[in-house]
Amino acid sequence: MGAAATEAPVRNLRTGRATSSLELAGIIGRLCGTDPRPQHLPSRAGEIRESVGQRTQAAEMLDLPEPRSLESGLAEVVGWLRAGRPGLRVPQAAD
């Protein structure tokens, strides 16, 4: 049976500055108390090398407070996950 779907919307939140995959892995690793060991593979055709988005649209849509650092935002997400994802509604399977 497949993974249970959730009603949580997916949003691409931005910091307004470029962050490498390696930097992101390092931040998440520190927050989770692990030492990630990324595998570096050749780039794939069509792969986006760099993308920097502005936070304005998501901030307005979600009524977000003032910007914070990537690390502090990720720390909040990790805390939410560790707390059992409070507030997330998971639909019940149909009988």
The model's pLDDT over 37-80, given as tens digits with 9 standing for 90+, comes to 999 899 899 988 777 877 777 777 777 777 778 898 899 889 98
SS3 (DSSP) at 64:
coil
Quote the pTM value: 0.67
Joined tokens for residue 87 = 């507030």
Question: If you ran DSSP here, which 8-state letter would residue 14 be given?
Answer: -
The pLDDT assigned to 8 comes to 62
Q: Rg for the chain (alpha carbons), in Å?
A: 16
Contact between 8 and 88 (Cβ < 8 Å): yes
Contact between 6 and 88 (Cβ < 8 Å): yes
Contact between 16 and 55 (Cβ < 8 Å): yes
The pLDDT assigned to 63 comes to 78
